[in-house]
Amino acid sequence: MSTIKILILGATGRVGGYVLNYLMQDNQETTVLVRQPHKLVKQKGLNIIQGNVLHKDHLECAFSFGVDVVISALSTDKSTTLSMSMPIILNEMKKHNIRRIITVGTSGVLQSRSEPDLLRYCSNESKRTSTWASVEHHKIYNLFCETDFDWTIVCPPYLANGNFTGSYRIERRYLPLGGVSISIPDVAHCVCKQIDSAEYLKTRIGIAY
């Protein structure tokens, strides 16, 4: 991976933590905006900013370190933080002339194979009793479609607490056929692979074993 300045939002979360570890291993200059900086260890090349993504001034401080790519691994755990913060994030990106953003979504916002006009969470493919996360990520997908940013939404199914394998399938707009799970380290690996790749710009990608 070439040297790129990266901003991670959600770096203390399950996927975001692994993304940060991978970037530190690759000696990438990385800035994180977190509410609880005590959860992170200060390292060379890591700028830790305490703050909240819903506060424009906090984001402005994070962007002041120089950013080429934004990675969002923000949680949707019974919260509207993701959908409320993304317009603010995109405004800051536009102000700083940043085009690339990669987000971690959910397989619910991929297209259904059985009902192609519907997203998976709206179709008979969905087995989830709660659609909260999918609704939040659907809002982000709709928002991205109205912009000219170079976005990619990485959409995993069930997140398993497994190990890194580096061996998984990727499909544009759909969940790979028969895919039911993927480990958190492999999701983070896929996210990092998108940083300097133009293969999946302006699209959703499904990932699974």
Q: For residue range 142-175, list pLDDT tens digits in order.
A: 999 999 999 999 999 999 999 999 999 999 999 9
**Calpha distance 28→5 (Å, rounded):** 7
Q: What's the pLDDT score for residue 2?
A: 59
Question: Does 129 have pLDDT greater than 80?
Answer: no
List 30's β-bridge partners, or say none: 6, 46
Amino acid at 163: N
pLDDT reported for residue 126: 85
7 vs 23: CA distance, rounded Å: 11
Domains and CATH numbers, the chain: 6-208 (3.40.50.720)
pLDDT confidence band for 99 (50 / 70 / 90): very high
- Residues near 62 by beta carbon (within 8 Å), at least 6 away in sequence: 7, 31, 32, 33, 47, 49, 51
Q: What is the mean pLDDT of residues 104-123?
A: 97
What whole-number percentage of the chain has pLDDT above 70? 99
Beta carbons within 10 angstroms of residue 132's beta carbon: 15
